[in-house]
Chain A
Amino acid sequence: MTIQFNTETFRDDYSFRNSDWAIKRFPFPFHEDSYMYSVNMEQHRGGPEGSVYEKRFDVDEHYVSEMQDRAIVLADDPLRCQSLPHMTLAGWDTLELIMVSKSEDYPDLFELHRDGNRWRWINKPMGIDHTFTFLDETTLPCGPLEYITRQAQGDYAVLDQRGDMLYMDAGMVTTQADWSLDFDIGMDFFEWHAPVPLAHEMGIFKRALKFLLNIQQGAPARRLNWTMTVNPLLDTSPENYHKWGIQKTSLTPENIGAKQHLRVELQTFYRLPRSNALLFPIRCYLIAFQDLVRIPKWGRRLHRVVRDLPDELATYKGFIANRPLMLDYLGRHDDGLPTSPGVWPDLDSEPPLQTQNDARSR
């Protein structure tokens, strides 16, 4: 299908909207009615047609507007994209991977023509037609990592691998769930995850590291992570927290359906061929509660997950104060019926929400 790109904002007037198509393909992260940390890795080898898992780097209706938002963030704070000196080759690896994947997976949107190291890259949605020399930085307007990730949705952490450890040595981070690349750059895997509660004690990070160290070229992996965001704000950075934090206090019973968003990260992991670095794209998807509950199964399940989440996790994810409001809203979309296993919407098989009248008549 041809994607119709939205004209929308992720700040100020927040005109971001999901189409019916985007709602149905939303990567709902809960495969059962409760949530606890897990490594939850699987191979990233495609997925159902039309799903966000189908392509290597999913492009959706928000692409052009997300790239405009990224440009605004970078103009305001250039430190959101950094690369330690030894990571330039990994930047070229990243550029190659994204250009090759996008031109193969979306030939109507992207073209890559290679003649030796002379490359021509055409990005139709963004109006870019650029010829450059692969591995020659002087032929790009900025470093290779910044160049390509200004044209690819999601944040990108580039992890160097040395001595059975991963180091956060480069990245493009403008749509993050409250962590700072500028602060964390250079840290090892355990250090940059240090503020996460519970998971260290559960051995999650040790197992995850072991898995990631062994990811091979051509065999990428993926997992989902999630949090909550008030307003469809992509840039929930610690840098700007003193500006956006106040928005968390703006929820009312009347506006929560439109303002409160479930924020899901599709995290993927690619071994890069020349540098042996690990590319870690973190793609952010947002959905308003009022859109999410249009999928009856998801409305039921989200209510149960939010209700039963340990306080520590609700605090860490930043919504403990808003949880009562969220439960009031979500509770109205949970009739207590069982839900089918797995993450898919199952619109054909899951019953619509039973209202109290329905329940009385049964």
Chain B
Amino acid sequence: MTKFQFPESIRSRPVYGTLEPRPGKAHLMIADAEGAEALLDLATREARLFAQGHIIYIPKTTGETYTQRLRDLGPAQFHVGPTYEASVPRIRRVLSDAHMGLQVYLAGTEGLMGQAQNEAMQAGIPHSAIQTEHRGSVARRMQCVHCKGITEDVVTDPFVCSHCGLNLFVRDHYSRRLAAFQGVCIDAEDPGNLPDPVELYT
């Protein structure tokens, strides 16, 4: 699958790179869905990383497509979680046990990478030291600036806040602390006058 090239945007919008092997005593790899492909590509460049690797993988809609191939990389620990939320206690425990020399690799959707990056930052790892690679859906995790509720996997602009029901437009302004983009009421000045929702990046 080819990687999606995000167009250039404002300074708060995250940019993602390509995972590369880095020397370290331990390697924590967290991925969802097509993010598995980034880990498989990483293995083609340095397969030995995985002997000290801990993979936490959330397949989402990809089901069994990648799980066996990831297992075949031979990671020291391999965990498949049903949702990101369900894997959070595990991620926190791993980060709290971590020592100097841990490398963190995140791959997949922006929501997964943003939330996992936030956990790592809270554990004291600077965000600039965490590698990320976007794969798969361009869906966004959005915070409603009005009610503060988070709507996951937003794929259209505008969209309806899953908490308060306001019609929100999708901004590129992004908060690492919230791991979310900002959604703002689109029809405040003309209630009910809504453009047709358009899929992001189409």
> Which residues does A use to contact B, with CB under 8 Å?
79, 180, 182-187, 190-195, 200, 238-246, 248-249, 321
Contact = CB atoms under 8 A, between A and B. Distances in A.
11 contacts: A183-B145, A185-B177, A187-B12, A191-B11, A195-B173, A238-B145, A238-B182, A244-B188, A245-B188, A245-B189, A321-B189
B168 to A, nearest CB: 9
Contact of B12 (A180, A192, A238, A249): A192
A193 B189 contact: no
Contacts of A190: 11-12
Interface string B58-91: 0000000000000000000000000000000000
Given A180-B145, A195-B171, A246 B11 contact: no
B45 interface: no
A185 B182 CA distance: 13
B148 A191 contact: no
B163 interface: no
A248 B185 CA distance: 14
Contacts of B173: 183, 194-195
B176 interface: yes
Interface of B: 10-13, 143, 145-146, 148, 166, 171-173, 175-178, 182, 184-185, 188-191
Contacts of B177: 185-186
A185 B175 CA distance: 8
B189 A246 contact: yes
B148 A249 contact: no
B162 to A, nearest CB: 16
A194 B148 contact: no
A195 B169 CA distance: 14
Q: Which of the listed residues A192, A194, A240, A243 has the most CB atoms from chain B within 10 Å of its own CB?
A: A194
B180 to A, nearest CB: 9
Contact of A249 (B146, B176, B190): B190
A54 B11 CA distance: 36
A195 B11 CA distance: 8
Q: Which of the listed residues B166, B175, B191 has the most CB atoms from chain A within 10 Å of its own CB?
A: B175
A190 B174 CA distance: 12
Contacts of B145: 180, 183, 238-239, 241
Contacts of A192: 12
Given A193-B11, A241-B146, A183 B182 contact: yes
B176 A238 contact: no
A290 to B, nearest CB: 23
B123 to A, nearest CB: 15
Nearest to A249: B189
B160 to A, nearest CB: 13
A50 B93 CA distance: 60
Given A186-B176, A194-B173, A242 B10 contact: no
A122 B118 CA distance: 43
A246 B191 contact: yes
Contacts of A193: 11
Nearest to B147: A239
A194 B188 contact: no
A183 B13 CA distance: 13
B169 to A, nearest CB: 11
A195 B13 CA distance: 10
Contact of B11 (A79, A194, A245): A194
Given A242-B185, A245-B185, A187 B175 contact: yes
B61 to A, nearest CB: 30
A240 B145 CA distance: 9
A191 B178 CA distance: 14
Q: Which of the listed residues B13, B145, B191 has the most CB atoms from chain A within 10 Å of its own CB?
A: B145
Given A194-B11, A194-B12, A242-B166, A182 B148 contact: yes
A344 to B, nearest CB: 36
B182 A242 contact: no
Nearest to A192: B12
Contacts of A241: 145-146, 184-185, 188
B146 A242 contact: yes
Given A194-B172, A246-B191, A321-B189, 6 more contacts: A183-B175, A183-B178, A190-B12, A191-B11, A246-B188, A248-B189
